[in-house]
Structure 1
């Protein structure tokens, strides 16, 4: 199973369309995860035309997006459980990654996916849980490259990779 993971698309402000590099991977995805900051509900039909799409809302999303997706969820894909959250909060002294991990404390998860910072992260924490921030495919901010991620479930095990690229067109 191939899962394309995106966050912080910020459309249409940051881009009027999805980048070709991302579209190439969406074309054969089995599922898509979006970790919030869609900024327009118009993004959902574009993304979900490729594969079943699971998402959460972010701090730049309006009430329609919050109502549709909520703020956090656990998605079951194949044999894997993935916690999905944007990661924003009011206490600026707590790192986004810490907030995301703490939001799922006590839950057995194969991965925690978050966004908000636009900073790509891929690592494993104690217990083997993957912690993944796909960055942004359209708004790299202070990052050198645009990014998203691909997760695969292979023989019941979850693996992930970051996809980094220079051109968002």
Structure 2
């Protein structure tokens, strides 16, 4: 009998209230639908962390370069969690895009999936066979509030089922008036 999927929501770079007064309603709907919410840093204010902790079934988060003392006190720089046999690591910054898979495969040799943020640029790649951790999946959900040079604001959804990461989707976030 197949297992029930664990639904994931991947967020990063929410930048509230600097880039948006609040998280869009679409983000909160995704939070309600998720079993686990990952946030890869740059919350900006502790109130966003508080609200996500109150509304998410389970929250895994880290601090980002724009997060102050209180967020850095409450959150780690790197978090790790295992969900149904899939080992996740989460951090904010991974450096330049060039050579990212090689660097991260070396830095995260025991993990299956690395969730990161910082660039506001969605990313989905796999470390190659010639790396320290072939098969490491690297995921950046972009930003739901600050698209920067991207065509749209984004988040990611995924699921873990049968010990595998499945159904990874980049989702455009509607702009609210």
**Shorter-chain-normalised TM-score: which range?**
0.7 to 0.9
Q: 1:162 aligns with which of 158, 170, 174?
A: 170
User: Structure 1 residues 33, 100: CA separation in 2 closer, same or farther (over 3 Å shift)?
Assistant: farther
Aligned to 1:71: 77
Distance 1:101 1:14, change over 3 A: farther
TM-score (norm 1): 0.87
Contact 2:90 2:114 in 1 (8 A): yes
8 Å CA contact 1:7, 1:134 repeated in 2: yes
Structure 1: 5+ residue runs without aligned partners?
89-93
The Cα shift of 1:27 comes to 1.1
Shift of 1:107: 2.0
8 Å Cα contact 2:27-2:173 kept in structure 1: no
Mapped pair 1:149 → 2:156: yes
How far 1:161 sits from its partner (Å)?
Answer: 1.6
Structure 1 segments of 4+ aligned residues over 6 angstroms from their partners: none
Q: What is the count of residue pairs matched by the alignment?
A: 164
Larger radius of gyration: 2
Structure 1 vs Structure 2 CA RMSD: 2.0
Q: Distance in 1 between matches of 2:64 and 2:102?
A: 16
Instruction: Confirm or deny that 1:125 pairs with 2:127.
Output: yes
2:157 aligned counterpart, secondary structure: strand
TM-score (normalizing by structure 2):
0.84
Which residue of structure 2 lines up, in the alignment, with residue 110 of structure 1? 112
